[in-house]
Amino acid sequence: MIKPHGSDQLNPLFVADDAARAALQTEAESLPQVVVNSAAAANAVMLGAGYFNPLTGYMNLADALSVAENLTTANGVFFPVPVLNRVDNVEGIEVGARIALRDPNVEGNPVIAVQTVAAIEELTDADQEKIIAKVFRTDDADHPGVSTFRGLGKYIVSGDIEVLNYSYFETEFAETFRTATQIRNEIAERGWETVVAFQTRNPMHRAHEELCKMAKEAVNADGILIHMLLGKLKPGDIPADVRDEAIRELVQHHFPENTVMITGYGFDMLYAGPREAVLHALFRQNCGCTHLIVGRDHAGVGDYYGAFEAQEIFHEEVPAGSLDIEIFEADHTAFSKKLGRVVMMRDVPDHGKEDFVLLSGTKVRAMLAAGEDLPEEFSRPEVAKILMRHYQTA
């Protein structure tokens, strides 16, 4: 199986031993308490679950600036985005001390991790804007990722962490949430060698379904990992539980049995376009996948990124040999009226826009809210039914 990024074995930061975890929980009660923001909590989940291998905790300012500028930490570990614990108040936090990190997303703010503080540094406005410019490629306050990043806290608290739980993901999405370790284990149990991953924060329509099948055939994969983001999204995005139900219905009826793993991961969406596409590749490698589908405007939002910038970054900015996972570069896919099937647009140069079944997101939402059926060429009826129920009760 493909090796994790940066090490021979995956090194998740979740404390798996029951006795050790109980002892850590007891210790946490006597430590300084910090309720972290949602981004830092999601980072703890991803560190605990092995997705951010080989990191051992939150980055310091030098790492964050180096990652933004060069896609490597200060000591040369390839990583595409800063992984930070940012707070507004550092009173009671000391370098060298241990602190209990409390979860903002669960009632009662239980301890999610214990951190050993390596440094406490102020993030200046100038440094923050340097990071934003590189990671998000825009400083527009209307960009949801930029807006969130600017509000995360004035101080960077860096250092190694030990993770106690996976926040709300393990309970609210018990059927779907999986750690990178669990996914690697299941891939091994299935005997899959070549695995193509599909990243989604949306329900899957016909084009997504066929794209997965095309990619599987093109790379001669043993199976497909449909891997959905389960964390926080911008207003208007489909909630994770609705998306989960719709994807399961699609796979049950329209994919061959035992060819798909439906899983999810506990992370908040960054909407960072190309940089987030690289991050997606990194943690799919940590899951054991050999290929990641990167399509049009992968991880994008609005008109901030060019249609294929998320593919171009792998050729233009990611140093050769940084990742072992391969990218399956996909074009926009849509149903061809001429051919009676879903195709990639680049494969049919004789087609015009009128030859495809194309619906904007706005049009789809309006149709579903009005109780109108989506064309079967665009969405499977089973999926459309679930989405219609969501929009009519939202």
Q: What is the pLDDT of residues 69-110, one digit of tens each?
A: 999 999 999 999 999 999 999 999 999 999 999 999 999 999
User: 158 pLDDT exceeds 80?
Assistant: yes
Binned at pLDDT 50, 70 and 90, residue 365 comes out as confident
User: 394 pLDDT exceeds 80?
Assistant: no
**What mean pLDDT do residues 294-314 have?**
95
**What mean pLDDT do residues 184-207 have?**
96
Buried b (16+ CB within 10 A) or exposed e, 143-167: bbbbebbeebbebbbbbbbbbbbbb
**Are the beta carbons of 327 and 291 closer than 8 angstroms?**
yes
* Residue closest to 291 by CA, chosen among 305, 307, 275, 280: 280
Cα(51)–Cα(308) distance, integer angstroms: 25
pLDDT recorded at residue 269:
94
Which of these ranges, 213-217, 263-267, 361-365, has the smallest mean pLDDT?
361-365
**Single-letter amino acid code for the residue at 244:** D
Catalytic residue among 21, 201, 248, 296: 201
pLDDT recorded at residue 237:
85
Q: What is the pLDDT of residues 20-79, one digit of tens each?
A: 999 999 999 999 999 999 999 999 999 999 999 999 999 999 999 999 999 999 999 999
Which of these ranges, 154-158, 246-250, 356-360, has the smallest mean pLDDT?
356-360
Q: What is the pLDDT of residues 279-290, one digit of tens each?
A: 999 999 999 999
Q: What is the pLDDT of residues 220-266, one digit of tens each?
A: 999 999 999 999 988 888 899 999 999 999 999 999 999 999 999 99
Cα(28)–Cα(99) distance, integer angstroms: 7
To the query of whether residue 202 is one of the catalytic residues in this protein, the response is yes
**Are the beta carbons of 270 and 177 closer than 8 angstroms?**
no
**What mean pLDDT do residues 5-11 have?**
97
Catalytic residue among 11, 70, 109, 202: 202
pLDDT recorded at residue 236:
81
* Residue closest to 8 by CA, chosen among 75, 74, 53, 58: 53
Cα(131)–Cα(288) distance, integer angstroms: 30
Mean pLDDT of the chain: 96
**Which residues face 262 on adjacent strands?**
226
* Domains present along the chain, CATH in parentheses: 18-167 (3.10.400.10), 176-265+273-393 (3.40.50.620)
Max intra-chain CA distance, the chain = 69
To the query of whether residue 201 is one of the catalytic residues in this protein, the response is yes
Cα(371)–Cα(385) distance, integer angstroms: 9
Would you state the torsion angle of the CA atoms of residues 188, 192, 197, 202, taken in this order, to the nearest 10 degrees? -80
Quickly count: other Cβ atoms within 10 Å of residue 249's Cβ.
18
Cα–chain-centroid distance for residue 188?
Answer: 22
Binned at pLDDT 50, 70 and 90, residue 356 comes out as very high
pLDDT recorded at residue 233:
87
Burial category of 175 from C-beta neighbours within 10 Å (exposed 0-12, middle 13-18, buried 19 and up): exposed
pLDDT recorded at residue 360:
83
